[in-house]
Amino acid sequence: MIFAMFKRSGNQRVIERLHGDIVAAVRQPSLYADYGVDDTFDARYEVLILCATLLVRRLALSPSPGPEVSQELTDRIFSELDAAMREMGVGDLAVPKRIKKLAAAFLGRRKAYDAALSAASTEQMAASLSRNVYGLEPAEGAARAARLARYAFAVEAAFSAAPLEIFVKGSAPFPKAEAIE
C-alpha cells in the first residue's frame, strides 16, 4: 500500500519536459527587461503561475491523458518549489506553510486568469496581472500590464492551435516574449 505513493507515473518524461518548458518561458529576459516585471522571487513566481496556468488549462481541457498530465504537472511544480525553498535555506517547519500559501495563490490566480481567458478580455487579464505581477492597483497598472496580457493571450492562442500530441511528445509552444508588441 505505501509503495503506491512512490509509483512513478508513465508520464514522468512528459512532466519533466513540460516543467522545463515552463521554466524556460519564465526565464525569458524580455519579460523582465522589456515588460517591466521585477526580477525578484515573488515576481518570477507570479510569471510562473501565469505560464503554468496557461499550460495546465490547455491540458485540463484536453481529452485523456491531458487532465492527468495537467494534475501531475501541477504536482511537479509544487514539488520543485518545495525543493527550491529548502535549497534557499527556508526551515523545514516553514516550508509546508509557505507551500500552502503559494498553492492558495496559484489557485486564486488560476481562477482569475481562467475567467479573463474565458471572457476573451485583455482588459480583465491586464487588471489581474497588474495586481498580481506588478503589485499595482488595476487603475494605475493596467497600461503597464497590457503587454503581458497580450502575451498571455498569444500563449493561449498558440496552445489552442497545437494538438495534444505536441504537448505529450514535443514541447509546449510558448511564443517568444519579445515577439509581442
Q: What percent of the chain has pLDDT over 90?
A: 75
What letters, b where the CB count within 10 A reaches 16 and e where it falls short, cover 67-105?
Answer: eebbbbbbebbeeebbeebeeeeeeeeebeeebeebeee
Q: What percent of the chain has pLDDT over 70?
A: 95
| Amino acid code (one letter) for 87 | E
C-alpha cell at 114: 481562467
* The predicted structure's pLDDT at residue 89: 86
pLDDT at 2 over 70: no
pLDDT at 140 over 70: yes
pLDDT at 1 over 90: no
What pLDDT, in 10s, does the model give residues 89-105?
Answer: 888 888 889 889 989 99
* The predicted structure's pLDDT at residue 41: 85
CB 86 within 8 A of CB 95: yes
pLDDT at 5 over 50: no
* The predicted structure's pLDDT at residue 9: 60
DSSP 38-93: --SHHHHHHHHHHHHHHHHHHHHTSSTTHHHHHHHHHHHHHHHHHHHHHHTT--TT
List of long-range contacts for 119-127, beta carbons under 8 Å, 24+ apart:
120/153, 122/146, 122/149, 122/150, 122/153, 123/149, 125/149, 125/152, 125/153
What pLDDT, in 10s, does the model give residues 116-128?
Answer: 999 999 999 999 9
**Rounded average pLDDT over 18-42:** 95
Question: CA 179, CA 30: separation in Å to the nearest integer?
Answer: 9
